[in-house]
A and B are shown apart, each in its own frame.
Chain A
């Protein structure tokens, strides 16, 4: 029988591997629409015996609490003085998709609309195989390719960095969907998950159970109600991640950030040098998707 097993070093252990990784990663993402390459190295032998008095990892506290404080400082400033950015540590992303579902739930997204998919990749050959998961929200580009193509000016870059959509103005032409190099926008075709199921019987819950689908979404600080049979916005519109603007404005971190089980997703004001995101963007592991397009995303990855 074949004897297998793999000792898989982390890329950061490779001397001078960073540039190569970033390059490979960007290239792979460009080619495969979100997949990265990965350098494999042999791990060295075991380290020295433990130092039993090392500091407690958790002593500095909860990263979410720190980001909440960062958020409060940012909200105390005028809107145009803030610059919202997101940082995603791919070493910490475990591919659980809690963010995807949290976003769907927060924004009450219908079938076919997902703001934050997580792309999975497997690299290497048995037994030297690794996995990587890449959450892909809207990049909130500083040079967004999606906004200039809108024929009605329904989408624009806000001074605080968020690329917003005005559902009332959107005509559903979907030019922006094609223009986005990250496939970050999807169309709301007006579908429902449970419409028509188990109807007309006292023995079943049927439509009594549809409350979650017809409750409003609070995107952009308004109430958007989708109800079967109606065509009201946001049905028919282009939809995408808005960094949970409605939550931010209400002193809550974006839904994906608060629920990230691996603690991989960070959010805050890049204009605040004291903020956690400012610190992380300075990491040697920092990279962005499709840098070569010059879109200047506000979503940074730590590879």
Chain B
């Protein structure tokens, strides 16, 4: 059947120098999923740096007791903007960016299902980010100079009501996140339609790469979980601008209602954020272990199960509110239930590595660290799911340590693995492996030094969001160590940025398939042409490139 009647040599794009304005126009007006994906990822990285600088200031302020580096007001704004940026302007665009870049390539499609909707999603997200940051200039409203929102990233009512939050800062928070949420919904609809409708011939759902599966479930969660946040923000704006009473306790409104709305969004949101890491690990670990993913159907089942359970656990953020004991019991039990499918995933990743021919390149290193660290994060999560334990440690640094372990030592490690793994595909050149390893070790040491001591600070009773503390409570040492972690983290990030930029110019040409991988994106050129595939590929198993490279032993014989 393999008669080839067209030239093997692909027509290269004409090499012509584009002027700056032409290049800019090409990027701004693009509807190409790869360019949009890269723009999502680059803007997420920029916001990551901004939010990282805020985190640095926060840690410097807390390094020693009775510090006066920043004022209490500035500190409130710092942690609000740090959290909001990290969740909505770093995590969410990473989801959309990776899904955009990889889903069409992996299922053998030429673009997303709705390319223009895709471009709309990106630009409205970026607009939302700018709107949020504009508060630094215009947050004071008519009454004067700017001030960023200072209400915390979950913006609990009634603190956000106009009686307590003057000026326009909270409005910028609500509106900026509202419109960037529309962008997330647009991109989620797009991912689902792409994965269902544009699969190349032969790519049944059971052969769809694990990455795409996870991103589809992720998009489902976005579709169901983002609207509650939008609803909450619309209600908040109705309260603030038109004098409605949703969260106005004096008129019978309920502040707890905001908490419910926010966490109905907020807890699925943490799964939305961590899923890209799951997706990346499920691709990277098999390639660098030279073994197919262990228990693929169980992995799909686990990710769907997490998607379902995630919708019914939100009130474990609210144990301290004073719910009924039935409520506490239900949400404690459902939260602990998440441990089962997550345990399946961790087990299967480990089992994939077990007995494999491991190649410890940078992507796999980040995956290995993820396994250890995310397991720790999961265990502290189960501890916090126990309602009485949560009463003790609610709003303490233990919680801060827990979610930074999931999101920094989990998600960010997964993202770095993915960035290193697909860098040669997206850029066409290899990154510098030596610098990659430096980045890995410095970053791993740095974040562990920063976040492990925060568990102990929580046990010692240090509440989150305090701008300083008095000496003699036993918090000095751990706070100082936590801040010292920056000495490793900052050089790690600088090395990463240098590696990415320098390798894009000077790196070795990568070739189509530098990792000897198995999924479709490695069959086209690096970087892929605008149309991805001249002729749509045809697949017969979940590892099409393996079949091609091993005609005597193809996967489809066993599936």
| A, B assembled together | no
